[in-house]
Amino acid sequence: MAPDARPWSTEEAALALDSSDSLRTRRDLFHIPAGHPSGEVAYLAGNSLGLQPRAVQADLQVELDDWASLGVEGHVASTHPWVSYHALLREPAARLVGALPEETVVMNTLTVNLHLLMISFYRPTPERRAILIEDAAFPSDSYAARSQVALHGYDPDKDVIRLAPRPGEDALRSEDVIDFLATEGDNVALVMLGAVNYYSGEYLDIEAITRAGHEAGAVVGWDLAHAVGNVPLKMHEWNVDWAVWCSYKYLNSGPGAVAGAFVHSRHLADRSIPKLSGWWSTNPDTRFRMEPVIDAVHTADAWQLSNPPILGMAPVLTSLRIFDEVGMDALREKSIRLTGYLQDLLDEASDGRPLEIITPRDPERRGAQLSVRLIGLDAEEVRNTMSQEWGVVTDARQPDVIRFAPTPLYCTFHDCWRAARALAAAVDVELAKG
């Protein structure tokens, strides 16, 4: 950091902020990677993979022990009977996304859930057949949308509409989505956007866009991969038709963790909605009669296919307990303060260096993320130098963006100070190479 650093940007100031913080970090609940001479790393990559809660090992061991001692009897006689294990996750997941319990199910992975929900809610006609996504959608969302359009016999190059930011901007504005739907939404069958964009960190106005989508005659679904556990959500109140999310980012449930889905209650009893069905889609009270025709249930469980993967669900349950204990409102408050502090530090680091924050500066338009463009530099090289030399872990997106995620559950003001200091030093190393 420059020798004339402002008083609020010194290491002492960062440590003082941590010591006086009203919502102290829950860092002690997580394993923080070590392996750097300075000790624990400053981990700002929770938007890619969250850290492991310390309680996961014990919670997994319960299921492993029951499997070892009970075998097949564990389906009904284990500590948490496996046959209904997914029901343990229903209410805490519903609280996290602002839903009714019957609207929520934890199952599969995000893209599998995208396809299952699009089978039900993307029902194109020759007059209304487009899917609206953001131009910077995560690739899997783009692939899923294109393949669904093709599955129905339409042209993905024409019928997947990609909304781009305004010229010279990096984040798609909510008002531009709303204006598009008002003026050109007649052909849109499905609006399917990322609530918080993975690349820019832009937090879209879910409620207003959902309303605009409905006024245009479209169904509205949301990818909450970077929103769940990051920002407070009210899926039911905002009248969202459906949503999906993953659990390995801000939810800290492990690599490839079991995902989730929401379906609004107004759709649950509608038997005209097509679904792909499996054994766990049927009524649990009659499931073991083994009948050939499904006994439909009027909950989000109707979109389940298979019995729950217990060893994959146990870490999700561990994580959801932490969020219930801390609360999303408190975490959002801490997130805004952490991210704002990091923004000030990165602004200072940008002085005289080819750096540009591309995430919206308005706290209401972003989650716990700041994306920084390294003009003329290789993001992966800078990211690796930050990790290897200064013990700061971030995420690079080629060719020139580094994403910082000051996750409030375990990141500190001191982590933010280390991150900005490491970025400045790593950029200086790259510039010195000529």
Residue 59 CA to residue 18 CA, distance in Å, equals 30
Residue 54 CA to residue 252 CA, distance in Å, equals 11
The answer, yes or no, to whether residue 1 has pLDDT greater than 60, is: no
Q: At what angle do helices 206-215 and 174-184 cross, to 10 degrees?
A: 0
3-state secondary structure 190-219: EEEEECECCCCCEECCHHHHHHHHHHCCCE
- Taking only the tens place, the pLDDT of each residue in 227-278 is 999 999 999 999 999 999 999 999 999 999 999 999 999 999 999 999 999 9
Q: How far lies 407's CA from each of 48, 188, 342, 382, in Å?
A: 11, 35, 12, 21
Identify the bridge partners of residue 160 per DSSP, sorted by sequence position: 131
- Taking only the tens place, the pLDDT of each residue in 169-224 is 999 999 999 999 999 999 999 999 999 999 999 999 999 999 999 999 999 999 99
> Which of the four pLDDT bands, split at 50, 70 and 90, describes residue 3?
very low
* Fold of the domain spanning 85-325: Aspartate Aminotransferase; domain 2 (3.40.640)
Q: Which residue in 98, 25, 51, 74 sits closest to 315, CA to CA?
A: 51
Number of C-alpha atoms within 13 angstroms, CB side, residue 357? 24
Query: CB neighbours (10 Å) of residue 34?
Result: 10
Residue that has been written with the tokens 């389940």 in this structure: 304
Q: Positive or negative, the Cα torsion across 424, 427, 432, 434?
A: negative
> Which of the four pLDDT bands, split at 50, 70 and 90, describes residue 305?
very high
| pLDDT for the residue numbered 424 | 97
The CATH superfamily holding the domain 7-54+327-432 is: Aspartate Aminotransferase, domain 1 (3.90.1150.10)
- Taking only the tens place, the pLDDT of each residue in 122-177 is 999 999 999 999 999 999 999 999 999 999 999 999 999 999 999 999 999 999 99
Residue 253 CA to residue 50 CA, distance in Å, equals 7
Residue 322 CA to residue 409 CA, distance in Å, equals 9
Stretch 374-394: mean pLDDT: 96
- Taking only the tens place, the pLDDT of each residue in 15-35 is 999 999 888 779 999 999 986
Q: Which residue in 149, 114, 332 sits closest to 227, CA to CA?
A: 332
Name the DSSP class of 33: P
Q: Which residue in 193, 177, 178, 195 sits closest to 233, CA to CA?
A: 195
Task: Please state, rounded to an integer, the average pLDDT across all residues of the chain.
Answer: 95
Q: Is 171 exposed, middle or buried (0-12, 13-18, 19+ CB in 10 A)?
A: buried
Residue 212 CA to residue 237 CA, distance in Å, equals 15
Ranges of each domain in the chain: 7-54+327-432, 85-325
Residue 279 CA to residue 304 CA, distance in Å, equals 8
What the block records as the tokens of 209 is 């866009």
